[in-house]
Amino acid sequence: MDGMDGMNGRNIKVALALLSITAIIIVLASAGYASALTIKSVDYSTLTPGSQSALTIKVDNDFSRDVKDVSLSVNTAGTPFSVIGSSQDSADEINEDDDETFTFEIKASGSAKPGDYVIPYIIKYELENVTKTENGNIGITIRGNPSLEYSASIERPVINEQTRINLKIINKGFADARFVSVKLTPQGYTLLSDEEVYIGSVDSDDFETAGFDVYLNSLSPVMNAAVEYRDFDNKKIVENIQILLTVYSRERAVELGIIKESNTGIIILLIALVIILWSVWRIIKKRRARKKMMSRG
């Protein structure tokens, strides 16, 4: 009886071992089918709004067998890109554990905003006489940076007067300038407001203005300012600017029509003169009237 039990135990162990081996074989056999064609790399030159570049996509064959009639298509609909030429490239086959490069020519729209975008793709291929399809997305970045230009003006450029200096910041770059601030160092004037003004964002193809209240005490003041902002890559940029300003004497400002002299004093003088002349005329008139009366008497 014990011999029978021992034999049954050995048979069970053998059966379990055979099942394990069979399971391993099935897993290994199906591993090739569980694999896929994968995107190994995506390469392109730096893209800015309006520029174009070759887009190369390397596809890796992870199957344990060759695949045939491989085609890769990109779909730029709804993106700021267009494909120059065909949006599909193909290869006769990709061997086992090999790769193939598919090439396209893409162009970024001139009105595109710098940023990260995705382009959908479709891979079609034949594996053991069965046509298969795989979908996915690739990431493309449009780059650009702010390009700032500056101009300064004084609202009332007259010496020894309180006025306002304005700094105009113009962004001619492809990307927005973010977290913009302006810090002023006075030269030729006394600063009456805060030395630093926070602007925020200066959008591409737009401008913003920073204003400072000052008292002018020089005919040749200088705007010394440090403009700080963040670019497309969130890198902090500091630009030091120096702009010469023109201030006029009061007399010259009157000549140029910048200011107009008040006529109030002249008007008051004329009124006073009229009153005096009228008073003198009244006095003379009364004296003449008295003389006539005396001569009659």
Average pLDDT per consecutive 10 residues, the chain (297 residues; last block may be shorter): 55 60 51 71 96 97 94 97 97 94 97 95 95 96 97 96 98 97 97 97 97 97 98 97 96 87 70 84 77 69
End-to-end CA distance of the chain: 183
| Paired residues of 106 in beta bridges | 53, 83
Cα torsion through 185, 188, 193, 198, rounded to 10? -40
CA distances from 177 to 151, 166, 192, 204 (A): 17, 19, 27, 8
Q: Do 106 and 137 meet the contact criterion of CB atoms below 8 Å apart? A: no
Specify the domain boundaries for CATH 2.60.40.10 within the chain: 36-142, 148-256
> Nearest 5°: phi and psi at 247?
-125, 145
Distance in angstroms (rounded) separating the CA atoms of residues 241 and 229:
14
Q: Do 211 and 149 meet the contact criterion of CB atoms below 8 Å apart? A: no
Question: How many Cα atoms are found within 13 Å in the side-chain-facing hemisphere of 269?
Answer: 5
pLDDT of residue 32: 44
Architecture of domain 36-142: Sandwich (2.60)
| DSSP secondary structure code for residue 172 in this structure | -
pLDDT of residue 11: 62
Q: Do 91 and 61 meet the contact criterion of CB atoms below 8 Å apart? A: no
pLDDT of residue 27: 44
Q: Cβ atoms within 10 A of the Cβ of 132, count?
A: 13
How far, rounded to the nearest angstrom, does the alpha carbon of residue 91 sit from its chain's CA centroid?
Answer: 40
Q: Do 225 and 211 meet the contact criterion of CB atoms below 8 Å apart? A: no
pLDDT of residue 143: 96
Residue 107, amino acid: K
pLDDT of residue 121: 97
Q: What is the pTM of this model?
A: 0.69
- 3-state secondary structure at position 152: strand
Q: What angle do CA 40, 43, 45 make, to 5 degrees?
A: 175
CATH 2.60.40.10 fits 148-256, yes or no: yes
> Nearest 5°: phi and psi at 13?
-65, -40
